[in-house]
Amino acid sequence: MTFRVNADTQAKNAIEKIKNDHILAQSTLNQYGQKLKLTAKWLDDNKLGNLGNITQEYALCYLKYRSESVSQKILNLDRNALQLLINRDLDIIKSEKTKVKAKRICAYTPVQLNMIMAHQNEKNALSTLIASETGLKAHELFTIQIAGQRPKSDKLWRDDLFTGMDGVIYTVVSGSGDKNLIREVILSHTTAYKLESTKLENPMYILDRGIKYTSFYNISGGNRWSSSFSRSSNDQLFWSSGTIALRYGYAQKRMNILPQHGYSFENCKEIVAQELGAFKTKMVETFLK
């Protein structure tokens, strides 16, 4: 029988190992302990083992995962702690959060999106079309599934989401581990038909940025799709706002449509926030800038 060691204990054991190999101030060890606790939880959530046997490959996957949500300063602390634990140098990973803040995000026009999709292969182009209609994040594309196969998360969802839209309802999974959020999205009938034509006989398991996903369709997503999108955008338009710009575009389009159905500005923000998998309207305000 295999016993799982909780994240706290794993982090304490890891710090003891580091103390035996390196002379560091207690305040630094405390910082590293907090960072390694988060690493241990991520490993457990994704069933990738524990800190005691973490590989260089998984350490880099974790840093890439963290790069999407933390500053460069915090990412450097994560990297330092992992380097000391595995006694190996790790590549420097740049924070995506820093990159996004450094430039203004411009939503794409329909003509620009068509130019990008024409320059992508069929799988990547379909994913771009889906993301533009739904505002999905790159990793959420892997998880799309026709509605009725799994219930959406038990949240105080508004009953007027997708007002003014017509199509087929799907669900997607956001987050990872015990913080998963299952929410609904809607695809136009034409796009849903294209997606269903790629349905797999058996689900496919995909590892992207160190996280395992169950995919029900033969479409692209994650890092491979976002890289394809940026390349095509740069090739065709000579600039790229990245795939996050599709979320900006979705929010801006919905904020233009919903007032036509009698909604106040605040109600519009609440609806769009939930349609994008959030319950904070400040996120929508950012997308409108």
Q: What is the CATH number of the domain that holds 246?
A: 1.10.443.10
On whether the CB atoms of residues 188 and 167 are closer than 8 A, the answer is yes
The span from the first CA to the last CA of the chain, in angstroms, equals 54
* Within a domain: 224: yes
Q: Which domain holds residue 114?
A: 105-287
* Within a domain: 240: yes
Structure tokens at 254: 């919905």
CA distance 277 to 182: 8
Most confident of 42-46, 153-157, 168-172: 168-172
Residue finishing a domain among 79, 99, 119: 99
CA distance 120 to 225: 9
Taking each helix axis from N to C terminus, what angle separates 122-134 and 222-237, rounded to the nearest 10 degrees? 90
pTM of the model: 0.68
Average pLDDT estimate for 144-154: 94
Residue finishing a domain among 64, 99, 134: 99
- The answer, yes or no, to whether residue 4 has pLDDT greater than 90, is no
For residues 83 and 151, membership in a common domain is answered with no
* Within a domain: 191: yes
pLDDT of residue 1: 33
CA distance 10 to 37: 7
CB atoms within 10 A of CB 236: 17
For residues 123 and 207, membership in a common domain is answered with yes
Whose tokens are 């233009």? That residue is 256
- Check which CATH number belongs to the domain holding 59 and give it: 1.10.150
- The answer, yes or no, to whether residue 139 has pLDDT greater than 80, is yes
Per the structure, how many domains does the chain have?
2
For residues 79 and 139, membership in a common domain is answered with no
Side-chain-side CA neighbours of 151 within 13 Å: the count stands at: 4
Structure tokens at 123: 């799988």
pLDDT of residue 3: 40
Average pLDDT estimate for 240-257: 94
CA distance 191 to 212: 26
For residues 109 and 91, membership in a common domain is answered with no
* Within a domain: 114: yes
CB atoms within 10 A of CB 126: 23
* Within a domain: 283: yes
Side-chain-side CA neighbours of 22 within 13 Å: the count stands at: 18
> Residue 77 to residues 201, 223, 226: CA-CA distances in angstroms?
44, 24, 26
Average pLDDT estimate for 133-154: 95
